[in-house]
Amino acid sequence: MISRERQAVPGGHVCWTYDDPESLADQAERHLAASLAAGERFWYITPQPSDQVAERLRALPDFAAAARRGAAAVVPLVATYSPEHVVDPATQVAAYAAATDEALAAGHTGLRVVAEATELVRTPAKLDVFTRYEHQIDRYMRTRPFAAMCAYHRPTLGDRAVTELACMHPQTNVEGLLFRLYAVAPEDGHAALAGELDMSNHELFRTALDRADLRPTDGELVLSAADLRFLDHRALTHLAEYARQRGATAVLRTPRSSAARLVDLLELPGVRVEVTP
């Protein structure tokens, strides 16, 4: 039951895409309020510390008061990510881990950031590295009191890039997104799949799995699929192949028995479906 609840509310890692900076400012204010109420430290991270969102936050009495006691800050993007805006996933996760520890040491309950990260994904190469990082940081968030809203400017990036980013988050405001892959607590397996997997997003699914770079343990790659409404034979076949390349059997935990029947029917080696209640 606890495990199920945790899956239903995967610790705050939101992909927020916006057209209008005002709507981002609204979200940032909302997160600030929630963060302060929860006793967290709050950062708004932006490439331009004087942008519209930063100015709106600074004008808030709550923000100003929190800033004076070290509970809130506008942090320039270069201070948290590398100056070239190319992320090294491991280094960046370590940086947020250190920042989370500092927040805890300073008496806060955790760290929450709203990060305007459009600059970091503006080329296909940057996008590829950053989506890999997104999954690594997602995994960190499942075990430590760190939460993030990653904000992306849709008109700058286009729908394809936005989709590739959004599907690596447990929560998003992107409409029509058919599936998501995100981290789970270690005892719940290696990752969760949610939504629907079919021909229309098969390439996206393959890309997401590659970027998540899942590492099996004890010869098994366990995927929690409580919120996966559908997957087709292509997705199952690919999961088996992905696990095989990593020397493991794919284990899919799903309440839907149709996946188990498909595996039997296709006599798919390398994948086991565990039908959960």
Partner 1 sequence: MRTGAAAGHHGYYHEAIRYASDDELLAVVVPFLLGGAEAGEPTFVALGERTGGLVRSALPAGAPVQFLSGGDVYARPAGAIRSYRQLLAEQLAAGAGQIRIVGEMPPASFGATWDWWARYESAINHAYDEFPLWSMCAYDTRITPPWVMADVARTHPRFATADGRHVPSPTWTPPAEYLRENRPIVADPAQAQPPAVELVDPTAAEARAAVRKADHGQVPVDEVEDLVVAVSEIVTNALRHGRPPVRLRVWAGDDRILATVSDGGEGPGDPFCGLLPASDGTPGGLGVWITYQSCNHVTWQRGDDGFVLRLTAGNTYVG
Q: Is 227 in the site for partner 1 (CB under 8 A)?
A: no
Q: Look at the block and give the residue holding tokens 């397996």.
A: 189
Please compute Rg for the chain using Cα positions: 19
| Segment interacting with partner 1, rule: CB under 8 A, options 43-51, 62-70, 135-143, 191-199 | 191-199
Q: Is 256 in the site for partner 1 (CB under 8 A)?
A: yes
Q: Are the beta carbons of 248 and 209 closer than 8 angstroms? A: no
Residue of 88, 125, 257, 274 that binds partner 1 (CB under 8 A): 257
Nearest-approach distance from CB 31 to partner 1, in angstroms: 31
Strands, DSSP E only, in 38-88?
A: 41-46, 72-76
| Segment interacting with partner 1, rule: CB under 8 A, options 73-81, 130-138, 154-162, 250-258 | 250-258
Q: Is 206 in the site for partner 1 (CB under 8 A)?
A: no
The interface with partner 1 within residues 58-117 (CB under 8 A) comprises none
Nearest-approach distance from CB 130 to partner 1, in angstroms: 27
Q: Is 159 in the site for partner 1 (CB under 8 A)?
A: no
Nearest-approach distance from CB 256 to partner 1, in angstroms: 6
* Closer residue to partner 1, CB minimum distance, 128 or 232: 232
Q: Is 265 in the site for partner 1 (CB under 8 A)?
A: yes
Q: Which string of b and e fits 102-129 if b means at least 16 CB within 10 Å?
A: ebbeeebebbbbbbbbbbbbeeeebbeb
| 217 vs 190: CA distance, rounded Å | 9
| 107 vs 70: CA distance, rounded Å | 10
Which residues, 6 or more positions from 222, have their beta carbon under 8 angstroms from its beta carbon? Answer: 188, 189, 190, 251, 253
Residue of 62, 119, 196, 227 that binds partner 1 (CB under 8 A): 196
Q: Is 185 in the site for partner 1 (CB under 8 A)?
A: no
Question: Any idea what the Cα angle at residue 26 is, between residues 32 and 193, rounded to 5°?
Answer: 80
Q: Is 204 in the site for partner 1 (CB under 8 A)?
A: no
By CB under 8 A, name the binding residues for partner 1.
Answer: 178, 196, 198-200, 229-230, 232-233, 256-258, 261-262, 265-266
